[in-house]
Structure 1
């Protein structure tokens, strides 16, 4: 073990789970750095002596990954390779008492809202003036921007309000200032995230203010793409679509998790919407913005789900043709209202149903991609892999959606926008060639 007197502390932050967690880690990194503490994210060099594991407690798989990561770090500490192991985030917020007993090798446990307490462990102060100053763990051309914390919805399957509390909007001025700070640092695309975007402003301004916030973000000079993640269908604020249509830098993209389409399941999930209402909403959204890309997330294997419910969900996908779909298998979570139901769909059957549903989406996705052949799209270059440049259109968010493999005779710059003509289409990806601008 290193002697504290000889070596300065170096902190490694390991982030698990969603983009909201990633933002929390970036903010923590920024605070530590401002307090002159050496900090890295997912350090590959292993030259750190303190680890903070920012955990996820969303579903079984995520919890398992979090616990395994904590145990690995405690093992390194036992072998003298680390001085301290701290744990923060959702899993820690939810199961702190149990975990303290089960894993005594952890030096301290922190919830999702306890950043100042973590800083105290380093004799560091929380600096309120660091608005938006954070160490980005993403490539410099895109970043996540969190506009609120928590959630007031009471979906029966969801444990997030237990871990992140009720909905708290971030003041509009603060969000815009953060966006400006990010753009100054080279960010061109911002993913606006919240557990529930459409609720934004209700607590602070007594009305839904997402449309106004988007207008103000859209005015930030140098911000080329603004993308919306996690809207709720019930009482969806349609004025958001007007702003999306009017402003060139707001992507025609909406991520709206619907979770299911069978009315039996929607009622059991406490989703406050029927299939008919969701279909009307999808139709209204597309009428208002025909160019929009709709992404949704679904859950299969919820207690009591029948094969008839699954068929209804497949029928819903065929009729509504979502551009992007993600799917989770149901996870039985303590203290959620669904926990009182019998988790009666076996794991293997949950997975089989998920694959069955995704095979329907695969065909829809391929058809939609085939329509893009011969068309030219603005593409953001994300990375270079195996000699190929890979990017995304405005209809694709990072990591979860389609990618465009770009053929180019000239070297491209990561983070630049290029025009690409699509030449090949696959189930979930596209290939295209760079279209050089004419000099005339």
Structure 2
């Protein structure tokens, strides 16, 4: 069999697209060593400057490693966003494609031609896909594109407007995966809470939740990337009432000061944001994840200090903070920029606050009993089995280290009731008590 090496960069939405390409190239043997591959594919990220640099460096590095007569293919967001420039500046690459032709990757390689469809690819009901990284969890992409108009974000310029998958298509994919043993699902899109807006339906996620709940065999599900203006209290309450969807609330806020929320074109003031967050926080066993941007044009010292106080005071479980990145084709690009030195100083200050908040979240878990999915060998080596809290998303929320078991050898992908014994360096140490059964 010919060998394939695929590098997927950026977000888990990119990962789903990469898994679609793997499904189309099932006649290839997947290998971990690029120097042995006949075909090398890089699925790039083009969101912010640091991601662009990472993508370019990865392409050049793989070119250095590739064997003679192999094929180097570059696809994804970076290519879609900078198509003309990169095709001129990367003679090392054999084939180029953007974000519209993931299901035609086999045709593209066979014919050795570049492909750039005018529209963004939306997964179909019959798409083949090879899940990677887990035998129990899968990401399910429910839509593509975004209708929002945030001042700092260029995604709509290369991903296009929101396009929602049909519920029937999503349900079929989940049912097929459940038959293969998958039981844990994360539903994703650029803006999940706008799902079905393009079809004239508000709170479309509620209809999706109702259909997913009918599928037997699912142990947990969660929704990622909620957007403040498209999240309703009705939707939040529906998630809280669900027996399948965990109370996992992932809503990037970007800021909390009313001034900055207006400058960033976020469409909601801080008072309403706090109402929504409080409803989420008060849910039983809730888990809150958010993200903030520091140093966006227009951010005063007062705005930044207000953000710091909010991060200290509100009880988040996980927080990501990013330095503002000046991006072409955004409203903020032509605004008066804040000096890099100021941005860096603010970032360091808020990172210390965030670090303390996250540590406290881990410490609060000690003594509790949680349902934990075994995920494999831990980052600490063979003496621990790695797991994740069933509420958590895969990989990003932390690691549970299981070093004791009252139920024999632990099976990968199996769910166990565990007692959390310790919190050490943003990792939880736990004892498995019994295998979970409904």
Tell me the TM-score normalized by structure 2: 0.90
SS of residue matched to 1:234:
helix
Query: CA shift at 1:132, angstroms?
Result: 5.0
CA distance in 2, matches of 1:370, 1:26: 36
Give SS of 1:280's match: helix
Identify if the C-alpha distance between structure 1 residues 436 and 107 changes in structure 2 by more than 3 Å, giving closer, same or farther. closer
Aligned to 1:398: 394
In structure 2, relative to structure 1, the CA distance for the partners of 1:263 and 1:228 (3 Å cut) is: same
Question: In the alignment, is residue 142 of structure 1 matched against residue 137 of structure 2?
Answer: yes
Which residue of 359, 363, 367 maps to 2:360? 367
- Residue in 1 that maps onto 2:421: 423
Question: Displacement, 1:354?
Answer: 2.5
Greater CA deviation, 233-242 or 23-32? Answer: 233-242
Take 2:69 and 2:290, find their aligned partners in 1: how far apart are those partners? Answer: 42
- Describe the shift of the 1:426–1:266 C-alpha distance in structure 2 as closer, same or farther (beyond 3 A): farther
Give 3-state SS (helix, strand or coil) of 1:151's partner: coil
1:240 match: 235
CA change 1:438–1:149 in 2 (3 A) is closer
In the alignment, which residue of structure 1 is the partner of 2:322? Answer: 328
Match runs of 1:334-345 below 5 Å: 334-345=328-339
1:177 to 172, 176, 193: 172
Distance across 2 between alignment mates of 1:313 and 1:21: 30
Rounded Cα–Cα distance in structure 2 between residues aligned with 1:396 and 1:129: 27
1:271 and 2:266 aligned: yes
Work out whether 1:67 is the aligned partner of 2:56.
yes
Aligned partners of 2:89, 2:124: CA distance in 1, in Å?
A: 38
Matches within 5 A, 1:32-431: 32-33=25-26, 37-40=27-30, 43-44=32-33, 46-76=35-65, 80-123=67-110, 131=126, 133-287=128-282, 289-346=283-340, 348-385=341-378, 386=381, 387-409=383-405, 410-426=408-424, 428-431=426-429
Extract unaligned runs of 5+ from structure 1.
1-7
Q: Quote how far apart the aligned CAs of 1:114 are.
A: 2.0
Q: Structure 2 vs 1, CA of residues 354 and 394 (structure 1 numbering), >3 Å: closer, same or farther? A: farther
Partners of 1:438 and 1:254 lie apart in 2 by 24
Contact 1:302 1:345 in 2 (8 A): no
Structure 2 contact 34–65 (Cα < 8 Å) conserved: no
Does the 8 Å contact 1:304/1:345 carry over to 2? no
Give, in whole Å, the separation in 2 of the partners of 1:371 and 1:28. 41
| Cα shift readout 1:108-153 (whole Å, capped 9, x = no counterpart) | 22111122553322348x9x98725311122111111000001000
Summarize deviations over 1:186-217 as a string: whole Å, max 9, x none.
Answer: 21211111110110011125333101101211
**Displacement after TM superposition at 1:375 (Å):** 1.7
Structure 2 unaligned residues grouped into runs of 5+: 112-120
Shift, 1:395, TM fit: 3.6
Q: 1:129 to 1:343 in 2, by over 3 A?
A: closer
- Within the candidate set 418, 431, 434, 1:433 is matched to 431
RMSD: 2.4
TM-score normalised according to structure 1 size: 0.89
Does the 8 Å CA contact 1:191/1:226 hold for their aligned counterparts?
yes
* Equivalent pair of 1:27/1:135 in contact (CA under 8 Å): yes
Following superposition, the deviation at residue 82 of structure 1 comes to: 4.2
1:49: Cα distance to partner?
A: 1.3
Secondary structure of the residue that 2:109 maps to in structure 1?
A: coil
Q: How many residues are matched?
A: 422
Dislocated runs of 4+, deviation >6 Å: none
